Structure 1
Amino acid sequence: MKRGGKIRIFIGLAIVLFALYQYYSSATTNEFTGEKQYVDLTTEEEIALGLQAKPSMMQQHGGLLQDIEAQALVDQVGARLIQSSIASDTDYNWEFHLLADSQTINAFALPGGQCFITAAMYNQLENVDQLAGVMGHEIGHVIARHSAERLEQQKLSQGLVTGASVAVEGGGQMAAAVTQMVNMKYGREDELQSDDLGVKMMMDAGFDPYEMVGVMEILKAAGGPNRTPEFQSTHPDPDNRIEKIKESIRKYQ
């Protein structure tokens, strides 16, 4: 092997080792879920990130829906879930937003407590318990610090891909493919954990947790017969989520 090739391998290996060191030195325990995580952000930084991203996300979905009664119901359900759950012990800046987007059936959360639901999703819901299921799921993402975890994993992935690209010609593409599959798996696990947390919050707040099954049926119908296979998706198949939700209900009864 030529000297230049050895130097490339050495530099690439150094980049990979540094990325691994940064990632594993960020190990912490989530005080609300008891889960070991790799997160480098403070609560204040998560809140700041969420507030910074909020205007852009609102703009992407047509701004806020101008429906005072519907927004009040979203706020009321969100507050009830927070007040009766472990979320009340957090320092997050909880806000709930009903977006004007009437085409995209979706709900999501930003780090630090910014939770969103689109009008398209809201209008599909059959009752307030289903709304609680959607919002409880999103609150679960925030409590479990999933966005902060994803940011740390992205930093690790970028370091591994960069190191592989430097060390081996074509190595970056292979590393990118592997890390994409790993990150999709993490994404599915996050969704299932948020479902579980959402069920617990619904029950603690006096909502019917079985209505979250109805939410999954809505998502299943929205996906249509040609929805992406689970192994290629960041979200678990709705049928699998329904079984896990039923398991969570039995666990917390």
Structure 2
Amino acid sequence: MRRGSGKLKLFIGLAIVAFAVFKFCSSETINEFTGQKQYVDLTVEEEISMGLSAAPSMMQQHGGLLQNQQAQDQLDRVGMKLVQSSIAQNTDYNWDFHLLADDQTINAFALPGGQCFITAALYSQLENEDQLAGVMGHEIGHVIARHSAERIQQQGLANGVITGVSVAAEGGGQAAQAIAQMLTMKYGRDDELQSDDLGVKMMIDAGYDPYEMIGVMEILAAAGGPNRVPEFQSTHPDPANRVERIKESIEKYQ
């Protein structure tokens, strides 16, 4: 009975893994803005809906919106200039730019569908409008590259593998989890570098100085301090390493 039960668990576990892999592979598509193959089965409408649904929660986590109309107007103007002057104008995304009241966390991020955010802590560190364009160009890059949607799809594959291995072999799930986390980690670093590249192109197309994105990297490096987590253990590349890639992108697009 025990041997038969083990074989049944193995069969069920392999079936779960096979289904997860099949579902992932069947979502293959080519991103029209990056030209790269990716795995996404969400529609643009679904991405927009997800972003709009999550936006209020993200605002609440960061103290709501900053009550500074002049700063918000600048953010809106810069964000829409980047969109309307670049490849991003050919999307159906619902673009919104939010200045968060959080004055402690130096950060910017984007949700699926065009919801882009920057904290007051980062905004206050920026030296000029070109640097703001660099930050927003990077976040717009995440959206048009569909990084969030792709991460959702990848996480679905990882969850399927973890579940399948856990069913098939006791203790195997822990190993599968570790592997899945490492895959997701590397994927995140690639996303950041690709968004830097797209951000540089959008800055140039909109008439901003792309070299000011290097200044943004210096701000991020200073915020991390001397005890930054090593690059391999982080989903974000080290700012110093991003600078070299940004310079390469500037040379490529200018």
TM-score range, shorter chain: over 0.9
Q: Distance in 1 between matches of 2:122 and 2:33?
A: 28
Q: Which runs of 4+ in 1 moved over 2 A?
A: none
Encode CA deviations 1:196-225: one digit per residue, 9 max, x unaligned. 000000000000000000000000011111
How do 1:138-153 residues align onto structure 2 when only pairs under 5 Å count?
138-153=139-154
Shift of residue 182, structure 1, vs aligned partner: 0.5
Encode CA deviations 1:155-186: one digit per residue, 9 max, x unaligned. 00000000000001110000000010000000
Per the alignment, in what secondary structure is the counterpart of residue 49 of structure 1?
Answer: helix
Match of 2:56?
55
Percent identical across equivalent pairs?
75
Match of 1:46?
47
Amino acid at match of 1:99: L
Shift of residue 38, structure 1, vs aligned partner: 0.2
Q: Distance in 1 between matches of 2:14 and 2:136?
A: 44
Q: Distance in 1 between matches of 2:120 and 2:174?
A: 39
Amino acid at match of 2:132: L
Match of 2:156?
155
Match of 2:115?
114
Amino acid at match of 1:155: G
Match of 2:134?
133
Match of 1:184?
185
Encode CA deviations 1:117-170: one digit per residue, 9 max, x unaligned. 000000000000000000000000000000000000110000000000000111
Encode CA deviations 1:77-123: one digit per residue, 9 max, x unaligned. 00110110011000000000000000000000000000000000000
Shift of residue 35, structure 1, vs aligned partner: 1.1
Encode CA deviations 1:64-86: one digit per residue, 9 max, x unaligned. 00000000000010011011001
Query: What count of residue pairs does the alignment treat as equivalent?
Result: 253
Per the alignment, in what secondary structure is the counterpart of residue 124 of structure 1?
Answer: coil
Match of 1:6?
7
Amino acid at match of 1:114: Q
Per the alignment, in what secondary structure is the counterpart of residue 189 of structure 2?
Answer: helix
Match of 1:241?
242
2:169 counterpart of 1:168? yes
Q: Distance in 2 between matches of 1:144 and 1:32?
A: 7
Unaligned runs of 5+ residues in structure 1 are none
Amino acid at match of 2:111: L
